[in-house]
């Protein structure tokens, strides 16, 4: 059996960052580009009307026509709506009724807003005449010119850009249907156990609700990765084999249960049969000793890391916190330390008892006090007691062989949650 430090070293040695992935644009929000987005067209792709009104020739708006009291009358020769493609040419003395978002016809080089039409002619359309009064006319007004925003071939989003809603919109405008990103790792989760039923079911005699599936999926999500819940596999070779085959397509596969030494602990054998090489099985810690870790090498893709987590819910989560988190950080391209929970030096406010040959991770409440951080060990019923763990903001790390520790002793703790900020 290896200890926690050696297990972490083996995980760091085995895990490798995922290569960038091309994903559909809509699926890329929150992710960082690994390749720039280069526009395939000018934007706007043509001269675009930015107001509802009349597309006119500037030549008609001489200095005289721009006097506050002057107005000019033009023939309305066409109606151009957004989406219309017209070969029409607007000549001096004429104009086209135009809507916002429509292409400005050839010959016209400004838009006079509908509000500038003299009363009574505001509804002027093709075949009518319109009288316009535009004292502050300037050539080119209310038109977005082709390429004003960006040009074909221009980099609109540089590699490294994090994609939020505006960047997604811009990439779409530039023709980026798919983008290359450092996508979050995909983590398949299989819970094993013939006794397991979903939370929706009132367990019959002998049945146990599946807490680990939702819990591990939540933990995966908290790490910024994407959980894929593959449901419950009974302790039978065939359903287990089928679920494992499916799960091995992900970047990581987490299984819970079936890794101890019982007759129905089929997970290590099923993983070996699927070609997953064992890196370690069993680590000196409490709870969580039966943990299994291995790797499936794939020819055309990054290796799949596989964790067989113990079935007892607290053991499962403690192993996730200690071992899966740093693995996920590496796979996501971050330093493993970033994935680890912060280790704090804390003073016990009440006694705690260790184990003779394994370090114990004991749920506790961490508090920031005027005299530094304190930890209060919580009443805890062991590896199945999720209620006890749910009240904890940290895990005391009680070293192997430490015996009984009195109040006031300084020990390490892993911080799971924000600190309670109270006086002692």
What residue ranges bind ligand AMP (CB under 6 A)? 191, 193, 195-196, 208, 210-213, 256-258, 260, 262, 310-313
- Whether residue 144 contacts residue 48, with contact meaning beta carbons closer than 8 Å, is answered with yes
Q: Which helix (H) or strand (E) holds 267?
A: helix 267-273
Q: State whether residue 264 is helix, strand or coil.
A: coil
**Residue 208's binding partner out of Mg ion, ligand AMP, none, with CB under 5 to 8 Å set by partner kind:** ligand AMP
| Among 157, 184, 180, 182, CA closest to 35 | 180
**Residue 304's binding partner out of ligand AMP, Mg ion, none, with CB under 5 to 8 Å set by partner kind:** none
CA–CA separation, 270 vs 236, rounded Å? Answer: 10
Based on CB atoms, which residue is closest to Mg ion, 257 or 288? Answer: 257
Based on CB atoms, which residue is closest to ligand AMP, 291 or 348? Answer: 291
CA–CA separation, 157 vs 220, rounded Å? Answer: 29
Based on CB atoms, which residue is closest to Mg ion, 105 or 257? Answer: 257
**Residue 313's binding partner out of ligand AMP, Mg ion, none, with CB under 5 to 8 Å set by partner kind:** ligand AMP
Q: How far is the CB of 268 from Mg ion (least distance, A)?
A: 13
Based on CB atoms, which residue is closest to Mg ion, 107 or 257? Answer: 257
Burial code of 163-187, b = ≥16 C-beta within 10 A, e = fewer?
beeebbebbebbebeebbbbbbbbb
Based on CB atoms, which residue is closest to ligand AMP, 256 or 393? Answer: 256
Based on CB atoms, which residue is closest to Mg ion, 171 or 232? Answer: 232
Looking at residues 275 to 334 of the shown chain, list those that interact with Mg ion (rule: CB under 5 A). 311
- Whether residue 32 contacts residue 161, with contact meaning beta carbons closer than 8 Å, is answered with yes
- DSSP calls for 130-182: EEE--TT--TTTTEEPTTSSB-TT-EEE-TT-B--HHHHHHHHHTT-SEEEE-
CA–CA separation, 420 vs 365, rounded Å? Answer: 8
- What are the residues whose beta carbons fall under 8 Å from the beta carbon of 173, sequence distance 6 or more? 39, 43, 149, 156
Q: How far is the CB of 394 from ligand AMP (least distance, A)?
A: 23
**Residue 256's binding partner out of ligand AMP, Mg ion, none, with CB under 5 to 8 Å set by partner kind:** ligand AMP
Q: How far is the CB of 313 from Mg ion (least distance, A)?
A: 12
Q: How far is the CB of 396 from Mg ion (least distance, A)?
A: 28
Q: Which helix (H) or strand (E) holds 5?
A: helix 4-14
**Residue 195's binding partner out of Mg ion, ligand AMP, none, with CB under 5 to 8 Å set by partner kind:** ligand AMP
Which of 257, 310, 336, 354 is close enough to bind Mg ion by CB under 5 A?
A: 257
- Tell me the chain's radius of gyration from C-alpha atoms: 33
Q: How far is the CB of 260 from ligand AMP (least distance, A)?
A: 5
**Residue 247's binding partner out of ligand AMP, Mg ion, none, with CB under 5 to 8 Å set by partner kind:** none
**Residue 191's binding partner out of Mg ion, ligand AMP, none, with CB under 5 to 8 Å set by partner kind:** ligand AMP
Residue with tokens 């964790």: 307
Beta-carbon count within 10 A of 324 CB: 27
Q: How far is the CB of 261 from ligand AMP (least distance, A)?
A: 9
Based on CB atoms, which residue is closest to Mg ion, 256 or 365? Answer: 256
Q: How many residues does the chain have?
A: 424
Based on CB atoms, which residue is closest to ligand AMP, 161 or 211? Answer: 211
Q: Which helix (H) or strand (E) holds 344?
A: strand 343-348
Contact track, Mg ion, 186-215, x by CB under 5 A: -------x----------------------
**Residue 310's binding partner out of Mg ion, ligand AMP, none, with CB under 5 to 8 Å set by partner kind:** ligand AMP
Binding stretches for Mg ion (CB under 5 A): 193, 257-258, 311
């Amino acid at each position: 059996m290896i200890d926690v430090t050696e297990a972490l070293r083996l995980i760091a040695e085995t895990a490798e960052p995922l290569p960038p992935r091309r994903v559909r644009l809509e699926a890329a929000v929150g992710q960082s580009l690994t390749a720039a987005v280069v526009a395939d067209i000018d934007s706007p792709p043509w001269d675009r009307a930015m107001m509802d009104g009349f597309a006119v020739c500037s030549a008609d708006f001489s200095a005289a026509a721009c006097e506050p009291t002057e107005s000019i009358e033009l023939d309305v020769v066409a109606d151009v709506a957004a989406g219309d493609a017209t070969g029409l040419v607007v000549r001096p003395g004429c104009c086209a009724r135009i809507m916002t978002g429509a292409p400005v016809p050839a010959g016209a080089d400004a838009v006079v807003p509908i509000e500038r039409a003299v009363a009574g002619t505001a509804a002027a359309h093709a075949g009518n005449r319109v009288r316009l009064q535009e004292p502050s006319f300037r050539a080119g007004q209310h038109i977005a010119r082709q390429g004003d925003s960006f040009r074909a071939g221009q980099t609109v989003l540089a590699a490294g850009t994090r994609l939020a809603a505006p960047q997604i919109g811009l990439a779409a405008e530039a023709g980026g249907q798919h983008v290359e990103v450092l996508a979050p790792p995909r983590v398949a989760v299989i819970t094993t156990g013939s006794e397991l039923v979903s939370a929706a079911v009132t367990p019959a005699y002998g049945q146990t609700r599946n807490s680990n599936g939702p819990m591990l999926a939540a933990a995966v999500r908290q790490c910024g990765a994407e959980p894929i819940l593959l449901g419950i596999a009974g302790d039978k070779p065939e359903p287990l084999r089928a679920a494992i085959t499916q799960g091995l397509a992900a970047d990581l596969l987490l299984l819970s249960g079936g890794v101890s030494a019982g007759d129905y602990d089929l997970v290590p054998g099923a993983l070996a049969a699927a070609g997953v090489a064992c890196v370690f099985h069993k680590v000196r810690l409490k709870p969580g000793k039966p943990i299994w870790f291995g790797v499936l090498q794939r020819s055309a893709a990054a290796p799949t890391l596989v964790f067989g987590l113990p079935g007892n819910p607290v053991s499962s989560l403690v192993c996730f916190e200690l071992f899966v988190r740093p693995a996920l950080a590496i796979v996501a391209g971050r330093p493993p330390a970033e994935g680890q929970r912060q280790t704090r030096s804390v003073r016990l406010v009440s006694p705690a008892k260790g184990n003779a040959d394994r370090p114990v991770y004991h749920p506790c409440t961490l508090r920031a006090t005027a005299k530094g951080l304190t930890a209060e060990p919580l009443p805890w019923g062991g590896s199945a007691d999720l209620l006890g763990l749910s009240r904890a903001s940290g895990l005391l790390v009680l070293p192997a062989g430490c015996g009984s520790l009195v109040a006031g002793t300084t020990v390490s703790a892993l911080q799971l949650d924000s600190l309670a900020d109270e006086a002692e």
